[in-house]
Chains A and B, each alone.
Chain A
C-alpha cells in the first residue's frame, strides 16, 4: 500500500484500490472508475433521462467520490458510490432547474431511447428484457414519474438500495420513502399496462392472469 504501484493481483482487490486512492492516487481511483462507470452511468441515466445530463452527473459523481473518499468507512463501496451518484443527480437536476436552458420538459421524454448506451454484455440477467421496445417503454414510464418518485424508484429498483440508504440519500424519512416508492411502482405499472398492447405478448406480464 505504500507504493503507488500495486502488484498485479492487488490491482483486482477493490479494498486495496480504495485504500491507495484514498491517499490521493488518481490512477488507483480511475481503476475504480472503470469498474463502476457503467453502473453509475446507468443509474444516472435512469434518473436524468438523457445521455448528456447523465454523463454530466456521472462525471460529477466520480469527482465528488474522489474528493470524499476519506469519508468512506468501508462496507459496500457500490452503495456508497451510488449514494454519491444520486446526490450528483439531485445537484444536476437542481442545476437544470435553475437554468431552464435545457428545459425541463426535455428531460422526461426527450430521449425515449436508451441511446448510444448499450446493454452491458457482462450483465446478462438483463438480457431477459432485450426487447428494446419494452426497455424504452419502461424507461419512458420511469421518466414520466415526478422527480421524487423517480429517484426513489431508481435507487430502489435499479440501484437496489435499502429504504434506509434511500432515506440517507434523499433526506426524506422512511415513511415518505415507502409511500413514494409504492406510488411510483403503481404508476409505472399502470403506465406499462397502457402501452403493453404495443409489446409482444411474451411481455404482457402485467395482465391479470
Chain B
C-alpha cells in the first residue's frame, strides 16, 4: 500500500496540491493526463484524498472550559508583569537617552573643571595673593559684567540651560550655587590648591580623575588662605572663586592667569570677561546646582555641609570679594571646599545618571522583548 515505487516526492506534492486546488492550470492538465494512464498514481491520489477527508472530518472538540478573558488577564500582564506597550518602549528609550546625555554632560563638565583646576593649581599660590586687591576692583565690575557674563556663560555652557533659573539672582545663587558647584569642583580642586577656590568655583569643570572630596576641600581651603594672606591677587580670590565656580573653561583660564603659565590663559581672557565670568561663575554654579537639584539636590547640600564647615560662608560668593581684601577672605574662601564637593557630586551624579540610563535601556530592551513575545 505504501507509496508505490513509481511515486516520487514530486508526484506526492503534485497530488497534494491538486487536492487543494493549488496547481496551476498547466500543472493540473498535465497531472490529469497522467492520472488517465497511471493507475498507481490514481490510487495514490485516492488514498491521499481519503486521508485528508478523514482529517477534515475529525470532530471539533469542545473546549474543556471557557476561555473568556478577565481584565486581569489582559491588563496586568502589560502593566504589572511588564509593560509591553509601544508607549513604554518609547518612554524608556527616551529616558535612557536623556539619562545618559545628562550623565555624560556632567562628566564632561567635571573633566573640564579638572583641567581648569590643574591650570589653576600653580597659579593659585601666586595669584591668590594678588586676588584680594583685584578682587575688590573686579568684584565691582563683576556685577555689571556679571549680567552679561551670566548670559554669555549660560549660552557658552551647555549645562547653563539647567542653571538658568537659579543663576539669575546672584545673592541667592551664591548660597545654593556654592554647594552645587562644590560637588563638581571637588575632584579637580585637589590638584590646584591655590586655584582650589577657582576650582571649586568651576563646578562645571569635570575631572574624571577627581580626587577625594576631602583632598579637594583641603586644597581649596589652603589655596584660599594662600591667596588671601601672601599676596593680594584680586583676580584670583574673587575672580578665581567666582569665575571658576561659574564657567569651567573661563574659570580655568582665569585661575591659570593668576598663576604662572596660567597668566597667559588669564591674559587671553579679557578682564571684563573675567569679572563677568565671576558672576557667571555664580550662575554656572547655579547651573550646576540646578543639575544636581533635578536629580540629587541633596548630594550637593550635604557635601557643602560636610565637606566645608566654612561652606556656610560659601553662600556669599560675592561677599567674598570684599572679604578678600582682608584676611577674612580666606574664610570666605572656605566656600571653596563647597565647590569641590559639588564637583564630586557632579562626577557621582554623572555616573548615577549613566547608570540610570543603562537601567532605562534595559527596561527598553525588556519591553521590546515582551512585545515581540506577544507579537
Q: Which residues of A contact B (CB under 8 A)?
A: 26, 29-30, 33-34, 37-42, 45-46, 51, 55, 58-59, 62-64, 66-68, 84, 87, 91, 114-120, 123, 125-130, 134-135, 138-139, 142, 153, 156-158, 160, 163, 178-179, 181-183, 185-186, 188-190, 192-193, 205-209
B33 at the interface (CB under 8 A from A): no
**Is A51 in contact with B64, judged by CB distance below 8 angstroms?**
yes
Classify the interface of chain A: helix, strand, loop or mixed. helix
Which of A40, A63, A67, A123 has the most CB atoms of chain B within a 10 A radius of its CB?
A: A67
B61 at the interface (CB under 8 A from A): yes
* Residue of A42, A66, A91, A179 touching B74 (CB-CB under 8 A): A66
Min Cβ gap A193→B in Å is 5
* Interface membership of chain B positions 34-69, coded 1 if the CB is closer than 8 angstroms to chain A and 0 otherwise: 000000000100111011101111111111111111
**Is B20 in contact with A41, judged by CB distance below 8 angstroms?**
no
Contacts A63-B77, A163-B20 given; indicate if A120 touches B61 (C-beta within 8 A): yes
**Is A189 in contact with B61, judged by CB distance below 8 angstroms?**
no
**Is A55 in contact with B65, judged by CB distance below 8 angstroms?**
yes
**Is B9 in contact with A182, judged by CB distance below 8 angstroms?**
yes
Q: Which residues of B contact A (CB under 8 A)?
A: 1-3, 9, 12-13, 15-17, 20, 22, 43, 46-48, 50-52, 54-71, 73-74, 77, 373-375
Instruction: List B contacts of A59 (CB < 8 A).
Output: 67, 73
A45 to B20, CA, bound (A): 23
Instruction: List B contacts of A26 (CB < 8 A).
Output: 69-71, 74
Min Cβ gap A158→B in Å is 6
Instruction: List A contacts of B16 (CB < 8 A).
Output: 178, 181-182, 185
**Is A123 in contact with B77, judged by CB distance below 8 angstroms?**
no
Instruction: List A contacts of B57 (CB < 8 A).
Output: 125-126, 128-129
A40 to B62, CA, bound (A): 10
A205 to B49, CA, bound (A): 10
A103 to B111, CA, bound (A): 58
Instruction: List B contacts of A119 (CB < 8 A).
Output: 59-62
A8 to B230, CA, bound (A): 96
A63 to B81, CA, bound (A): 14
Min Cβ gap B305→A in Å is 52
A114 to B63, CA, bound (A): 11
**Is B61 in contact with A153, judged by CB distance below 8 angstroms?**
no
- Residue in B closest to A190 when the chains form the complex, CB atoms: B2
Min Cβ gap B374→A in Å is 6
Contacts A33-B68, A62-B69 given; indicate if A45 touches B59 (C-beta within 8 A): no
**Is B9 in contact with A179, judged by CB distance below 8 angstroms?**
yes
Instruction: List A contacts of B2 (CB < 8 A).
Output: 190, 193
Min Cβ gap A187→B in Å is 9
**Is A192 in contact with B54, judged by CB distance below 8 angstroms?**
yes
Which of B2, B51, B73 has the most CB atoms of chain A within a 10 A radius of its CB?
A: B51
A181 to B373, CA, bound (A): 27
Instruction: List B contacts of A63 (CB < 8 A).
Output: 69, 73-74, 77
**Is A186 in contact with B69, judged by CB distance below 8 angstroms?**
no
**Is B58 in contact with A126, judged by CB distance below 8 angstroms?**
yes
Q: Could you jot down 29 A-B contacts, CB within 8 Å?
A: A26-B69, A34-B66, A37-B66, A39-B60, A41-B63, A55-B64, A67-B74, A67-B374, A68-B375, A114-B61, A115-B64, A116-B64, A117-B61, A128-B57, A129-B58, A135-B58, A139-B58, A142-B55, A157-B52, A160-B56, A163-B17, A182-B17, A186-B48, A190-B3, A205-B54, A206-B1, A208-B43, A208-B46, A208-B47
Min Cβ gap B367→A in Å is 14
**Is B52 in contact with A126, judged by CB distance below 8 angstroms?**
no
Instruction: List B contacts of A91 (CB < 8 A).
Output: 373
**Is A163 in contact with B9, judged by CB distance below 8 angstroms?**
no
A125 to B57, CA, bound (A): 7
A34 to B48, CA, bound (A): 34
- Residue in A closest to B43 when the chains form the complex, CB atoms: A208
